[in-house]
Amino acid sequence: MINPKNTAIVFDIGNVCLKVNFQRFLHAIGFEDEEHFRQTPRGQQILKYAILFETGKLSTTDFLHHFAGLIADDEQAPEKDRLQRAQDIWKLIIGDELPHIADLVRALHAQGYYLAFLSDICPLHFALVQQKLSFFHLIPNHFLSYRIGCLKPHPDIFAHVEKALPSSIQNIVFTDDKEENVQAASGRGWVTHHFTQPEKFIQLCRELLPPF
């Protein structure tokens, strides 16, 4: 039986807790849309370095050097300015907190559920998340790709979570905006929800989680 003492509620971050502004980022570096970005050599290079950054294989400094070189429109600018511009543009991806999630997290925290993040994310973006989310302090358990070394839906990232959870946890409820991640977690016996809007996840919690 699901109850607060034996259940972990695991949240993805992007497009679950806060908005991902990928289109704003793309426009800032000269791409019309994601398809254009993924089809061009420059976009593919940026994506390659982003994956290395999000899996902990590139430091923040090394990533910014690579990224700055791929977006440079003023190669004569001082390196410090080029790196700062690269950082500012990379931060454009992280948007604002989504509505209603804060109230849900506060309610789950008050009931004593084990709360965690499971996110594909880099150190720069996670620092922003800490500033953006009003309820960040209520979710003390952080399973992050750049610390674990792989991205969802790789089996190792889910196995890492399972191993790290307290022995009292018998149920894992997981919400993510990407269907492939939801399917991978479901295949491991997790209770899953494909996140599309906060209201639907809140309704699931009301149906599933006593005494919500």
Q: Please, which pLDDT band fits residue 76 given cuts at 50, 70 and 90?
A: confident
Domain-wise residue ranges, the chain:
7-19+96-208, 22-92
Nearest Cα to 101, choosing from 75, 139, 44? 139
The mean predicted confidence, pLDDT, of the chain is 96
How many Cβ atoms from other residues are within 10 Å of residue 174's Cβ? 24
* Model confidence band, residue 82 (pLDDT cutoffs 50, 70, 90): very high
CB 195 within 8 A of CB 16: yes
Per-residue pLDDT band for 210 (boundaries 50, 70, 90) equals confident
Give the model's pLDDT for residue 55: 99
Question: 75 pLDDT exceeds 80?
Answer: no
Share of the chain above pLDDT 90, in %: 93
Does residue 202 carry a pLDDT above 80? yes
Is there a contact between 2 and 205 (Cβ–Cβ < 8 Å)?
A: no
Nearest to 26 by CA among 71, 63, 65, 74: 71
Whether residue 193 contacts residue 201, with contact meaning beta carbons closer than 8 Å, is answered with yes
Residue 29 reports pLDDT greater than 70? yes
Q: 3-class DSSP state for residue 95?
A: strand
Q: Which whole-number Å values give the CA distances from 81 to 85, 87, 180, in the listed order?
A: 6, 10, 39
Q: What is the b/e burial string over 128-164, where b = at least 16 CB atoms within 10 angstroms of the residue's CB?
A: bbeebbebbeebeebbbbbebebbbbbeebbebbeee
Average pLDDT over residues 134-161: 99
- Please give the angle made by the CA atoms of 122, 82 and 62, to the nearest 5 degrees: 40
Please report the pLDDT score of residue 141 as a whole number: 98
pLDDT for the residue numbered 212: 66
Query: Does position 31 have pLDDT exceeding 70, yes or no?
Result: yes
Give the model's confidence band at 74: pLDDT under 50 very low, under 70 low, under 90 confident, else very high.
Answer: low
Q: Identify the pLDDT of residue 77.
A: 80
pLDDT average, residue stretch 3-14: 97
From edge to edge, which strands make up the β-sheet containing 191-194? 141-144, 114-119, 7-11, 171-176, 191-194
pLDDT reading at 161 higher than 80: yes
Task: Give the β-pairing of 94-97 and 114-119.
Answer: unpaired
C-alpha to C-alpha distance for 174 and 145, rounded to whole angstroms: 16
pTM exceeds 0.85, yes or no: yes
The H helix count followed by the E strand count for the chain is: 11, 7
Average pLDDT over residues 82-96: 97
**Architecture of the domain delimited by 7-19+96-208:** 3-Layer(aba) Sandwich (3.40)
